[in-house]
Each structure stands twice: as C-alpha cells, then as structure tokens.
Chain A
Amino acid sequence: MNALIISALMGVVMMFSGILLKQRSAIRGVALAGLFAAIVLNIAETYGFHLFKVDIKNMMHFDRFALFFNTVAMICTFIFFLLSAKEMEKVGLNYADYFALIFFIICGILLSSSFSSLLILFLGIEIISIPLYILTGSDKKNLKSNEASLKYFLLGSFSTGLMLMGITFIYGDAGSFIVENITSLSTPDAKPSILLIAGLLLLMFSMAFKVSAAPFHFWTPDVYDGAPTVFTSFMATIVKAAVFIAFIRLFNYGFYGIHESWKFIIAIITALTLFIGNITAVFQQSVKRMLAYSSIAQAGFMLMAVLALNSFASEGIILYTTAYSLATIGLFAILVKMKDYTFEGFNGFAKHQPLLAAAAVIFLLSLAGIPLTAGFLAKFYMIKSVLDSGGFLWLVILAVLMAAVSVYYYFRVIQAMYFKDGEAQAMEISVSFKGVIIAVAALVILLGIFPQLLLNWLYF
C-alpha cells in the first residue's frame, strides 16, 4: 500500500516536474529519489510499517509474496533508470512525462500483483497497458513506432474486452468479484459450471495475450521492435513479469481447485510458446527483434510455473522474473548504445569494449540457462516444479530441447562480439554506466550461485 500511494503521487509529481524543472538531470534525480522512497517504504511494509491506513474492503491483499515481488520489480526499475534514463532524452521532448507514465505503470504493477478482487486485477492490467500504448508510440516522427502503437492498442483492446467478458461470466456464476468466493465454487468434487469454465478460458486467453504466449503472441515482435528501445526493455521485462505474477496469483488462488480442467490447455499454450518463440528467434537478423522473440520463448518457461503451481513454482517464478529482467535490461542497455542493431553490428565489440562485452556474455549465458548464472537456476526451478507436480514429461523435454535451440541465437551475439573481426560502433559510454552494468552482471552470477540470497526474503 505504501509503495502504491507513493508511486501514484510520484506520477503526478513527475508530470509537473517537466514544467517546473528546467534541467533534465534534476528531473532524473527526482524520479530516482521517488522510486527509491517507494522501494524503502515497500520493504518497510514487509516488516509491518504502514504509512497510510486505508480500508481497501478486502479487494487487495498485500501478502509476503506480493510485497516481495513488488520490491523486486521496483529494484529492477531502479536499475533500468540508472542504466537507461539518460537514453530517454533521445526519444522525444516530453522527458518528464515518460517518467510519469512509468510511475503509473508501476502503480498498475503493484495493483495486479496484489489483487484479491477481479476488478482490481482488471484495473491493474489496464493501468499498465494504457501508458504502455503511449510509450510505444512516443517516438512520434518514426512511422514504425506509430504503427507499433496502433497495433498494440487495437489488439490490446480486444484482449481487454475478452478479460472483461471473462470477469463478467465468472461474476455471473459466483456473484462476486472476490477471488476467495470464486475459490469456494471451484472445488474438485463439484462439477464446475459452464459459465465458470467459459470465464476462466476467456481470462486465460487475455492473460496469455498480455504475457505474449503463443498463439496470442503476434503483436509482440512488431511492438517490441517498433517501440523506442529503452521502452522495449521496460516492457519486455518488468511489465511482463508483473503480468505473470498476476497470472499465477489468479490461477493459484482462484482456480486451483479445478486445475484438472485447465491444466492441459496451459500445457499446450506453453509448448506452442516455447516452440514458436525459439524457432522463430533463430531466423532473426536484428538483435532487437531476436530479443523480442526470445522474450516470447522465455515466457514459455515462465508459463511452466502456472502449470505446476507448487512451492517450487512460486519461488521459481520470482527467481525467473528477476534473472530474466536483470539480464534483459542489461542487454537492452548495451543495445541502445549500439549504432547498428544487426548481429553484424556487434562484430568485434569485445575488442573495443571488453568490459561491456564480458557483461553481455554473462547476460546471454544467463538467458540461455548456463550454470553459474541466475538463468540456470531459474530454469532449473521451472523444470523441477513441473516434474514434481507429476506428468508432463514431454513438455519438460520439449522445454530443455528448446533451451538448446536458444543457445543458437544467443551465442550468435557472443560469436559476433568475440570471434569475428569488425568495427562495432558504440556511442560514448560513461564510467558510471559501466559500473552499473558490471554490478548487474555480478548480481546475475551471485544469484546463480546463492539463489537463497533472494528467495529467503520470501520467508523471513
């Protein structure tokens, strides 16, 4: 609750800071300070410190899991600001507004990770989506950006429609928006009504759309490619992670009782996502587009947590979203600095920027799931959770084979950077940027050896 109110206030403050503050570094400073305050207050709330007393009428539930994820998401956003806030200047003139929009998205993230009423879930997802439509189109003079924004808006509205209809159906059956009341309906012995199943499927499809799971993924490559690269980084990581948390929360708390009826559909969606994401990523020529498809592929792995729904899955999804966000934010931050986004544009990068190239290798290894990086243990948790929940061996084997396919496209970047000669053109890189990148890379390795540094926070 603390962080929610702070970030809503910060959104408004940032809008006005564009008028009041003339220097861009000052605007950046305010944003960083505001986010830092939100993080600190959120951690304080974990220990029972409430800044505000608000009666939320049981519509939200800030449990340990939600609070912890909020902390992780905001810390990732903080790192994103540190690495890329400067780059936002190049997108357009409304520098302060971009920060304002991002703070509103954080509000949406906090709502959707802590909902206990379907209304709040809907609000959260919409508060995330609408600023994202704007950010996607924020490069106003670029046609691709405009196209991406329009596409995203149209398809996003459809999925919102589906979600609303699903919620309505479920309301028709349960007579309530509160998740607990829905749970009591979906007990394994009582046969679920058609309304409930129909609502569940509509909700599932609209959530699958938001996390870009196949076959609802078609918007993703164009939108991620068209959007300004700094914002793609944010969209593909923190936002996606938050929707995943909402997805898991909804299905774990709301529909666990009837999981036999929807498990198989999730398994099919997972398999399709893994297959299509990985295979299509192999054929990309631009690193940015490759990362867009890779984000679909990674979503496939995260969907395994929705399938498994056990304690490994909830620990694993936190680790996965953290590992994936850190690595992808780091990679995008390096990508933004490049002049040429194709694979050839990275040729010989290691010679010119040895430190950045080494960090990029760590991020790529983590995304590919090589041991000693956080990405390996994240994938490990996902595989283990599915195997422990019983069945679906074929899915696990498909997933690991697809992970081997992913090595192909991630390593193409490594090959370009290290083994091929060329003049990779990068923009000027400041010492502080290098410092942050190396710290993030170190964090990826640290979490790859001691994941309990992160996961213990879930319990103590």
Chain B
Amino acid sequence: MIALLLILIPLLSGLIAFFLRTGNAAKGWALLSSFATVAVSILGLTILSKPELLQFKAAWLPGLGSNFSVRLDGMGQLLCLLTAISFPLIFIATWSRQYKNAHNFFGLMLLSQAGLMGVFLAMDALLFYFFWELALIPVYFLSSIWGAERRIAATFKFFIYTFIGSVLMLVGLIYLQSQTADRSFDIDAFYKIVLDNKTQNWVFWLMFIAFAIKVPVFPFHSWQPDVYEQSPTAVTMVLSGIMVKMGLFAIIRWLLPVLPYSSFAYGEKMIAMWTIVGMIYASLLAWRQDDMKRLIAYSSIAHLGLMVIAIFSETELSMQGAMLQMFNHGINILGLWVIVEILERKYGTRKLSELGGLAQKAPAMALLFVVVALANIALPLTNAFVGEFMMFTGIFTSPISEYELFTVPAAGITIILGAVYTLRMIQKVIYGNTNPLTETGTDIGYNEKLVLGIIVIMIIAAGVYPKPFLDLTKDTTDLILKEANIIPVLVK
C-alpha cells in the first residue's frame, strides 16, 4: 500500500496540476503533494514498516508474464526517501522563480517524481523498464521548454543517448525473460536464471550500456555537462540528485545478481579502469571550469565513478557504502545547486570570475555554502566521509579485487582534486573583494535558509550517526551479495 501510494500521489497530483488555472495554485499544489509523499515515505520507514504494507502486486500483462509488482526493500526505502525529500526542498528553494505556464512545469515535475519512484520500487523487469522511460519523458520536456538558450540540442542529445541505452537494455531484458523457468519478468525469477559465461557476457553489455549512460560512466558522459548547464536549475537538481542514481541502482538490483559472472569478469578489470580514467579527467575539467553548473556537473561524474567501482568490488562494506553515498550525494549536490540557484537569481551569473566577496555581504549563505562544500570534499563529520570511507575500505579489502593497489590510490587522487576544485569555487565566490556586481548583495531569505538548514542538518546527522541507514540497507546488500555469488566464481 505504501509502495503504491508513493507512485500514485505524485502521479495523480501531477495530472491534476495540468488543469490548475494559475501558476501559484500549481506551485502550492505541487508543494502540498510533495509533503504528502514525504509523510508517506517516513511512515513507511517507521510505524507502518510491515512487509504486507510495503508491497503491492496485481496482475497486469498475464500473456507476457508481467505483473504490476512493487515493493520497498531497504535500498528502495533509502532512494524513495531521497526522492521524497528532494522534491519539497527543490520547490521551496526555487519558490520565487516564475515560470511561463507554471501549471505544466509543476505537473511535469510531479510526473517525473512518479517515474523515479516507480524505478526504485519496481520488482518486475518490464514494469521497471516502463518507469525507466517514464522518468525520462517529463524531464526531457522540462529541460527543452524551460531551459536556457542551447536547450533543444542539449536535451535532444541526452534523450537520444539514453534512449539508445534503454532499447538495448530492453533486448537484454526480453532475452533474460525467455531464459526464466516460468517465462516471467518477476525479479525473483530473474535472480534464479543460470546462464553460461558467454551468454552472460553479451547480455551484460546490452544492459550495462543503458546504466552507464545514465550514471554516466566515462566514455558515455558527454551529454551530462551540457544538459546540467542548459536545464532550469530545478530540473538539474532532479537530474543530478536523483536521476543519475537510477543507473547505479539498476546496476545493483538488475545487473550484479542476474549476471554475476560477467559483472565479476568485466566489473573490476575493465569498467573500474574506465571509471578511474573518467574520474581523473572529470576532476581536472572541474578544476578549470568557470561556470558553476559545469563545475558541479564534472564533480558529480567523479563522485559517481567511485560508487561504480565500489559496487563492482562486491563486498558488504563497499556495497553499503555505495548505497549510503547515493543518498548522501543526492543531498549534497542538492545543496550545491540551491546555492547556484540563489547566486544566479541574485547576480544573474554563475561564473566564478564574475563573483567574489560574498562572505561580507551574505554571511549566512557563506556559512551554509562552506558546510555543503566540505561535504562535497568528504571531510570527516560530514555524511560523504562515512560513505567514501566505507567504499574505499570495501574496495581495498575485496576478495575479488586484483588491482586494488592501483584503483584505491588513483581514486584517492580524485578526492584530493575534489578538494582543489571545491575550495577554488568557494574561494572565488565568497572570499576576496567584492566587485561592482556583488557590492549590492544581500543575504538569503527565510525559505532558502530553511532549505539549506535542513540539508546541513542532514549532512551532519548522517555524518555522525549513519547507523539507521546502514541497518536499512543491510538486508538488500546481503541479498545482492548472495545472488551475485562471487565465491564459487573465485574458486573456479
């Protein structure tokens, strides 16, 4: 029931939003709906956390062996919570921005929330594919209608890119379904598939390319900086905070347990190497960026890369670290985007070279900005430290790693580079002298303080006491590792 509500609330309220007359009504309605989703999500985590409430199954396409089957497991809980929390924060942070045809904007935003929830909840491969695509369509329209000047080309590239990935994944899923015992798309049936190594290998690539494009893993990343830059900031928040997690999530749920051999064979030896190249490359690019949106976009590639390596090293620590970090990264990057949004609205620019000296003019913002930025560097006491520490330890101790003496230091370099570009950003934006543009600056308003305050509280809380999150993801991790079943592979 909870699982169903998490999809239905944003879906229905999104459809209703299209028919609201004024933009303000739609805005209020969207906020109300997103609060309801948060409430349901928290109820599902706490007092209503009973198995029979967390799942829902109904016959859907009996001829094809597909059911409408949704369930909240630990990892799903965490990502649904992230999705639920992010949307009200996004709405509040961008409250004063005026959109043309705002009712359509908020309707599409809520529909994308429904799609994302569906991806995290689906326990049926065909349903998963449905939601995977559905999350994309509203975002495509949002970016193309309300984005910046070069929006049409940038988002179109993004759409074609991800669509190519998803259709290949569809072929993979259909093939896997034909290999299940009872010809069903159910996730349990998928986990029972036994394939020989050669078959696993080509199915692996069909599926992995879709996920790699979404994350994005180097060399499939070229859509990302353009789209982040050209989209309206509210949409960039959805894209970078939640949507990229779809790729990581799908690797954990739909790739490792289903194709254990290939995940082992390619994961650490090949994909981790690409990812490292991509991480260093992206970090260096982030260092040289002048546009804050592009800087954060490249920094995001580096952070997500580490999670990809951690997932493929298949230890309990690295896996849990990656899940925790998916949540944390969503919160942190949301904080960074909120800052960008504020700066852009106040000063009309996102360029580091045109900003400066804001610590004197906006002390509250400066303080909050610094905390969020430190979380981006993964300083101890912030949430990202816990995640990254767990991932590094996991990669280093993994029984299947062969090149950990290379991967860990190489990934470590990107952490240092992360400090370089993040601190450079802070220095250029809030320290130094004011210039004519920032001279008249004022501090942030209450709604922005509220949003950033909540984000900072979450950063510190998860940094000091991550245990509830780890308890939550333990079951999923154990299940995935059991199905991924690497020990027999090693013995062979």
Residues of A within 8 A of B (CB): 315, 365, 369-372, 376, 380, 383-384, 387-388, 393, 396-397, 400-401, 403-404, 407-408, 411, 415, 418-420, 451-452, 455
Instruction: Indicate whether B130 reaches chain A with its CB closer than 8 angstroms.
Output: yes
In the bound complex, do residue B167 and residue A401 qualify as a contact, i.e. CB atoms below 8 Å apart?
Answer: yes
In the bound complex, do residue A452 and residue B174 qualify as a contact, i.e. CB atoms below 8 Å apart?
Answer: no
Specify which chain B residues have a CB less than 8 angstroms from the CB of A451 in the assembled complex: 61
Specify which chain B residues have a CB less than 8 angstroms from the CB of A376 in the assembled complex: 133
CA distance A420 to B153 in the complex (A): 12
Distance of B470 from chain A, by nearest CB (Å):
35
Interface residues in B28-80 by Cβ distance below 8 A to A read 61-64
Q: Which of B155-163, B283-291, B449-457 contacts A (4 or more CB under 8 A)?
A: B155-163
- For B302-338 the 0/1 string (1 means CB < 8 A from A) is 0000000000000000000000000000000000000
Distance of A85 from chain B, by nearest CB (Å):
31
In the bound complex, do residue B133 and residue A370 qualify as a contact, i.e. CB atoms below 8 Å apart?
Answer: yes
Q: Which residue of A lies closest to B130 (CB)?
A: A371
Partner of B174, one of A315, A384, A407, A455: A384
CA distance A455 to B156 in the complex (A): 35
In the bound complex, do residue B61 and residue A400 qualify as a contact, i.e. CB atoms below 8 Å apart?
Answer: no
The secondary structure that dominates the B interface is helix
In the bound complex, do residue A418 and residue B145 qualify as a contact, i.e. CB atoms below 8 Å apart?
Answer: yes
A380-B170, A418-B141, A418-B144 known; A371+B129 contact, CB < 8 A = yes
Instruction: Indicate whether B168 reaches chain A with its CB closer than 8 angstroms.
Output: yes
Q: Which residue of A lies closest to B59 (CB)?
A: A452
Q: Which residue of B lies closest to A390 (CB)?
A: B178
Specify which chain B residues have a CB less than 8 angstroms from the CB of A400 in the assembled complex: 167-168, 170-171
Specify which chain A residues have a CB less than 8 angstroms from the CB of B174 in the assembled complex: 380, 383-384, 387
Instruction: Indicate whether B253 reaches chain A with its CB closer than 8 angstroms.
Output: no
Instruction: Indicate whether B99 reaches chain A with its CB closer than 8 angstroms.
Output: no
Partner of B160, one of A315, A383, A407, A415: A407
Q: Which residue of A lies closest to B126 (CB)?
A: A380
Distance of A318 from chain B, by nearest CB (Å):
12
Specify which chain A residues have a CB less than 8 angstroms from the CB of B465 in the assembled complex: none
Interface residues in B170-188 by Cβ distance below 8 A to A read 170-171, 174-175, 177-178
Distance of A275 from chain B, by nearest CB (Å):
16
Specify which chain B residues have a CB less than 8 angstroms from the CB of A397 in the assembled complex: 168, 171, 206
Instruction: Indicate whether B137 reaches chain A with its CB closer than 8 angstroms.
Output: yes
Q: Which residue of A lies closest to B155 (CB)?
A: A419
Partner of A387, one of B62, B144, B163, B178: B178
A-B contact pairs, 27 of them (CB 8 A): A376-B133, A380-B170, A383-B170, A383-B174, A384-B174, A387-B174, A388-B178, A396-B171, A397-B206, A400-B168, A401-B167, A401-B168, A403-B167, A404-B164, A407-B159, A407-B163, A408-B160, A411-B156, A411-B159, A415-B152, A418-B144, A418-B145, A419-B145, A419-B151, A419-B152, A420-B152, A452-B62
Instruction: Indicate whether B265 reaches chain A with its CB closer than 8 angstroms.
Output: no
Specify which chain A residues have a CB less than 8 angstroms from the CB of B164 in the assembled complex: 401, 404
- For B130-145 the 0/1 string (1 means CB < 8 A from A) is 1001100100010011
Distance of A420 from chain B, by nearest CB (Å):
8
Distance of B233 from chain A, by nearest CB (Å):
19
CA distance A234 to B75 in the complex (A): 51
Smallest CB-CB A-B distances: 8 pairs:
A400-B167, A404-B164, A371-B130, A371-B133, A419-B144, A404-B163, A419-B152, A384-B174
Specify which chain B residues have a CB less than 8 angstroms from the CB of A388 in the assembled complex: 178
Q: Which residue of A lies closest to B183 (CB)?
A: A388
Specify which chain B residues have a CB less than 8 angstroms from the CB of A393 in the assembled complex: 171
CA distance A404 to B175 in the complex (A): 19
- For B186-226 the 0/1 string (1 means CB < 8 A from A) is 00000000000000000000100000000000000000000
In the bound complex, do residue B62 and residue A372 qualify as a contact, i.e. CB atoms below 8 Å apart?
Answer: no
Specify which chain B residues have a CB less than 8 angstroms from the CB of A411 in the assembled complex: 156, 159
CA distance A458 to B391 in the complex (A): 54
Specify which chain B residues have a CB less than 8 angstroms from the CB of A420 in the assembled complex: 152
Other A-B pairs, 10, CB within 8 Å; known A369-B167, A452-B62: A371-B130, A372-B134, A380-B64, A397-B168, A397-B171, A401-B167, A403-B167, A404-B167, A407-B160, A419-B152
Specify which chain B residues have a CB less than 8 angstroms from the CB of A371 in the assembled complex: 129-130, 133-134
Specify which chain B residues have a CB less than 8 angstroms from the CB of A365 in the assembled complex: 137
Specify which chain A residues have a CB less than 8 angstroms from the CB of B168 in the assembled complex: 397, 400-401
Q: Which residue of B lies closest to A368 (CB)?
A: B163
Q: Which of A365, A371, A372, A376 has the most CB of B within 10 A?
A: A371
CA distance A306 to B402 in the complex (A): 49
Distance of B119 from chain A, by nearest CB (Å):
12
CA distance A451 to B130 in the complex (A): 14
Specify which chain A residues have a CB less than 8 angstroms from the CB of B145 in the assembled complex: 418-419
Specify which chain B residues have a CB less than 8 angstroms from the CB of A455 in the assembled complex: 63
In the bound complex, do residue A387 and residue B171 qualify as a contact, i.e. CB atoms below 8 Å apart?
Answer: yes
Specify which chain A residues have a CB less than 8 angstroms from the CB of B156 in the assembled complex: 411, 415
In the bound complex, do residue A383 and residue B133 qualify as a contact, i.e. CB atoms below 8 Å apart?
Answer: no
CA distance A404 to B133 in the complex (A): 13
Distance of A369 from chain B, by nearest CB (Å):
8
Distance of A375 from chain B, by nearest CB (Å):
12
Specify which chain B residues have a CB less than 8 angstroms from the CB of A452 in the assembled complex: 61-63
Q: Which residue of A lies closest to B167 (CB)?
A: A400
CA distance A384 to B64 in the complex (A): 9
Q: Which residue of A lies closest to B144 (CB)?
A: A419
Distance of B477 from chain A, by nearest CB (Å):
30
- For B78-99 the 0/1 string (1 means CB < 8 A from A) is 0000000000000000000000
Specify which chain A residues have a CB less than 8 angstroms from the CB of B134 in the assembled complex: 371-372
Q: Which of B64, B129, B137, B159 has the most CB of A within 10 A?
A: B64
